A and B are shown apart, each in its own frame.
Chain A
Amino acid sequence: MNFFWHTLAVICMFIPGYLGYGLILGKGKILHFGHEGIVMVTGYTVFILLMQFHTGYILALFGGLIAIAAVSLLFALLALRLEADAFGVMSLAVHLMLFAVVLNWSSVTRGALGIPGLLRFPFLQTPFDFAMFGLVVAVFFFWLMWKVDRSAFGRKLAALAEHEWHAKSLGIYRRKVYILAFLLSGFCVLTTAVLSRQYFTIIHPNDFLFPVLVFDVMVIVAGKPGSVPGVTLASILLISLKEALRFVPLSPAVLGPVRLILFGLILFGAVWWRRDTLFPQEREI
C-alpha cells in the first residue's frame, strides 16, 4: 500500500510542474529546454535559505518566488530575442551554466554532495500525507491551467504559436504574453520543486540532469502538446511506469541505461505519433 501512496504522491507533486512546462512547450510551442534549470534554481534557492540561513519557510518561499521570477524573465528575454530553434539550444546552454554554478559553488550549495535532510512542512510527514496534499494541489493546478488554457491569454499564446505576424496584426504582442507565460510556468515549477524536494528530503545536482529534461519533454509530447488533460494523463502513466521499473530484476548498472533507452524510444514513438500536430503548420483561410 505504501508504494501506491508513494506513486500517487510523486504523480501529484510533479503534475503542476508538467502543466507549467506544457504551457510553454505545448501551448506556446516555445522550444524551451531550460525547464530543469528553472526547477533547480528554485529548489536550491528555497532550501539554501531554509537550511543554510534558517530563514523559515515563509521567507524561503518568498526568496524562491524572487529567484523564479528572475530566471523566468531571463528565459523569456532570450526567447524574445532569439529565433525559436536558437532559443532551444541556448536554453540548454543556460541550464548547463546554472548546473555548473550549483556544482561548483560548494560553500553554499554543497556541490556534488547536495543538501540532505530537508525540512518538511509539519503536516507532511508520511507518503499518505504527501499523496493527499499533493492531490489537492494537483487538482487546483489542473483547474487553474484549464482556466488559463481557455482564457483570452491562452488563446493569445496559441495565436502567437500559429502565426506571430497575424497575431500581431490583431494587437497581440509577444513580449507581454511570453513574460506572463514564463512567470506562470515558474509559479507551477515552484510548487513542484518545493513539494518534491521535501518529499525526497534531499536536493542534489543529479536530479536536474539531461535525462530528467528528456522525461519532461516526453510527458508533454506524449500527452498532446497544449492539452491540459493530455499532459495530466501522460504524467500519471509515465511516472507510474518509471516507478514500476524499480521492480525490474536487473542490477542498477544495467537498469539505469535500459531505462534511458526505453524512455528515449517512448519519446521517439510519441513524436512519430504526434508528428503532424507537435508543431502545427500555419492555418490558411
Chain B
Amino acid sequence: MVQLFINGLIAGSLGALVAGGLALVYGVLGVFNLALGQMALIGGYSTWWLHQSLHLPLSISILGGLLVGALLAWLTFEIFVNPFYRRHRFLPLVTTIALSMILDGAILLLFQERPRSIVPGLKKMVQMGDARISMEQVGLILITFVLLASFAYVLHSTAFGRKIRAVVQHEHAAWSLGIPAHILHRLIFILSGVLAACGGIFLGIDQNLTPIFAFPLTIKAYAAIIAGGKGNFWGAILCAYLIAFLEQFVVGIHWFGLFYVPAGYQQSVALVFIIFFLLFKPSGLFVRSARAA
C-alpha cells in the first residue's frame, strides 16, 4: 500500500508539473495546447543529448533542457497560437495538433524510437518500511513540491502574481488598469513550456524517454485540467495527483481477494473514471466562480 502511495506521488508529481502550467495558460488565454507532450519530451531529449552525447554535467544539461523548453514554447506561441487565438479560441487546438505531428517527426528523426535515459544504470534505492524509492525519485518529488510552493508564493503573495490573477479573471479590466496582458500571455505560455520541459526531464531521469509517451502525457494533463475545473490552477494540480493515485491503486490492489486489474489498463481505468465523473459534473471538481461587478 505504501509502495502504491509512493508510486502515485511520483507519477502525480510529473502530472502536476505539466498540468499546472497548462491550467494557467487555459485560464489566461482560453486555449488548449495539444503539442504539450511533445514539448515535454523535447525538453527531456535535449537534456539527454547534452548529458549523454556532449557529456556536460547534469545540472548544466538540465538548464539547457529548460532553456530549449522555454524557446520552443515561445516559438509555439508566436507561430501556432498568437496569430490564431484572437480569431477563434478553438483554432490553436487544431494548429497545435499540427505542431504535435511536426514535433513527433522531428523527435523520431533526431532521437529515434529507442528508449533514452538521462541517468542510465542502476539507481540507489532507499527502503521505507515495505516500500522502495530511488534517491532520484525522492529528489524529483521534493523539487516538484518546491516548484509548486514557489509558484503558489509568486501567484498569491507578489505584485506579479496579482497581475497574473487579474488577467485570468478579466483581461480587459486588467488592461484598463495598465497591466500589460500581451506580455503576460507570452510569459505564461513560456512558463508552461518550462514546466512541461521539467516534466520531460523528470521522465528522462526517473524512467526512459520514448516518443510514445507524448500523447498520453498530454491527454492526462488535460483530463486533470478539465476535471479540476478549467483554468483552476490548484484544481488541476490536485486532479493530476488524483489521476496518478487512481492509476496506481486500481492496478495495485488485489480486488476482493479475487483478481488484479491488468497493468495495461492502468491509464484507461483512470480516464474512464474521469469521463464518467464529467458526465455527471461537466464543470469539474473545483469550479471557480467568476467575479462580477
B265 CB–A CB distance under 8 Å: yes
A95 CB → nearest B CB, Å: 9
The tally of residues in B whose CB lies under 8 Å from a CB in A reads 44
Instruction: State A257–B188 Cα separation when bound (angstroms).
Output: 30
Instruction: State A191–B274 Cα separation when bound (angstroms).
Output: 31
Is B93 within 8 A of A88, CB to CB? yes
Within 8 A of A (CB), among B80-112: 80, 83-84, 87-91, 93-95, 97-102, 104-106, 108-109, 112
Is A89 within 8 A of B95, CB to CB? no
Instruction: State A268–B279 Cα separation when bound (angstroms).
Output: 32
Instruction: State A253–B264 Cα separation when bound (angstroms).
Output: 27
A144 CB–B CB distance under 8 Å: no
- Given contacts A93-B271, A257-B108, whether A264 and B102 have CB atoms under 8 Å apart is yes
Q: A88: nearest residue on chain B (CB-CB)?
A: B93
Is A267 within 8 A of B98, CB to CB? yes
Within 8 Å CB of B106, what residues of A?
Answer: 257, 261
Secondary structure call for the B interface: helix
Is A265 within 8 A of B102, CB to CB? yes
Q: B106: nearest residue on chain A (CB-CB)?
A: A261
Secondary structure call for the A interface: helix
Is B265 within 8 A of A100, CB to CB? yes
B118 CB–A CB distance under 8 Å: no
Interface pick from A78-86, A127-135, A235-243:
A78-86
B68 CB–A CB distance under 8 Å: no
- A81 contact from B94, B222, B278, Cβ within 8 A: B278
Within 8 Å CB of A245, what residues of B?
Answer: none
Q: A253: nearest residue on chain B (CB-CB)?
A: B112
Within 8 A of B (CB), among A235-267: 253-254, 256-261, 263-265, 267
Is A281 within 8 A of B265, CB to CB? no
B262 CB–A CB distance under 8 Å: yes
- A267 contact from B84, B101, B223, Cβ within 8 A: B101
Is B226 within 8 A of A86, CB to CB? yes
Is B223 within 8 A of A85, CB to CB? no
Within 8 Å CB of A279, what residues of B?
Answer: 88, 90-91
B272 CB–A CB distance under 8 Å: yes
B274 CB → nearest A CB, Å: 7
B229 CB → nearest A CB, Å: 11
Is A100 within 8 A of B268, CB to CB? yes
Q: B274: nearest residue on chain A (CB-CB)?
A: A93
- B275 contact from A78, A83, A85, A272, Cβ within 8 A: A78
- For B255-278 the 0/1 string (1 means CB < 8 A from A) is 000000010110110011011001
Is B102 within 8 A of A260, CB to CB? yes
Is B267 within 8 A of A96, CB to CB? yes
B185 CB–A CB distance under 8 Å: no
The tally of residues in A whose CB lies under 8 Å from a CB in B reads 47
| A-B residue pair count with CB separations less than 8 angstroms | 142
A113 CB–B CB distance under 8 Å: no
Is B94 within 8 A of A221, CB to CB? yes
Interface pick from A14-22, A196-204, A210-218:
A210-218
B247 CB → nearest A CB, Å: 12
Within 8 Å CB of B105, what residues of A?
Answer: 256-261, 264
Instruction: State A281–B88 Cα separation when bound (angstroms).
Output: 8
| Best-surrounded residue of B97, B106, B223, B267 (most CB of chain A within 10 A) | B97
Instruction: State A82–B281 Cα separation when bound (angstroms).
Output: 9
Within 8 Å CB of A284, what residues of B?
Answer: none
- Given contacts A78-B279, A217-B97, A260-B104, whether A276 and B216 have CB atoms under 8 Å apart is no
Instruction: State A181–B112 Cα separation when bound (angstroms).
Output: 41
Within 8 Å CB of A257, what residues of B?
Answer: 104-106, 108-109
A189 CB → nearest B CB, Å: 20
Within 8 Å CB of A260, what residues of B?
Answer: 101-102, 104-105, 108
- A82 contact from B101, B219, B278, Cβ within 8 A: B278
A65 CB–B CB distance under 8 Å: no
A148 CB–B CB distance under 8 Å: no
Q: B102: nearest residue on chain A (CB-CB)?
A: A264
- For A64-100 the 0/1 string (1 means CB < 8 A from B) is 0000000000000110011111101110111011001
Is B89 within 8 A of A85, CB to CB? yes
8 pairs of A and B residues whose beta carbons are closest in the complex: A104-B264, A260-B105, A264-B101, A264-B102, A261-B105, A267-B98, A257-B108, A257-B105
Q: Which residues of B contact A (CB under 8 A)?
A: 32, 34, 80, 83-84, 87-91, 93-95, 97-102, 104-106, 108-109, 112, 215-216, 219, 222-223, 226, 230, 262, 264-265, 267-268, 271-272, 274-275, 278-279, 282
Q: Can you offer 16 A-B residue contacts whose CB atoms are under 8 A? A: A81-B278, A89-B34, A89-B222, A90-B275, A90-B278, A92-B219, A103-B264, A104-B265, A256-B105, A257-B104, A259-B105, A265-B98, A272-B83, A275-B91, A279-B88, A281-B88
Q: A89-B222, A96-B267 provided; 8 other pairs, C-beta below 8 A?
A: A101-B268, A104-B262, A214-B100, A217-B97, A261-B101, A268-B98, A275-B91, A281-B88
